[in-house]
Structure 1
Amino acid sequence: MTQADLAGTTGLRQATISEVETGQEGTKLATLLCVLAALDLEITISSRTRDSHDIEDIF
């Protein structure tokens, strides 16, 4: 699926899809959820384990 295809499915701009794809700062949660829904994906949130890295190490 291209960015243009995903933009058409979500009603978002292709530039917005590109920003999400490249990890641009400032992406709204609603935008991310819209993209995930269009891709038939979901976010799962769970408690961190003691061995989890600091958030700075992940990103």
Structure 2
Amino acid sequence: MTIETSEQYEAAIVRLRALGDMPAIGPEQDEFFEISAAMVDYETRNHPALKVGGE
């Protein structure tokens, strides 16, 4: 999963809220981790201060 736009980022937040706190093992947990990782990637790409080494 890749998040490219702020609209996709907002939709990811809505989906995480729907999933609730860390779901139990299974497809929802996989989705939770996938969305979370995509959000971190998006945040890092769009906030240069968060990049490792400030690159």
Provide TM-score, normalisation by structure 2: 0.33
Q: Rg: which structure is higher?
A: 1
Q: Which is helix-richer, 1 or 2? A: 2
Comparing both chains, which one has the higher relative contact order based on Cα–Cα distances under 8 Å and sequence gaps of 6 or more? 2
TM-score by length of 1: 0.32
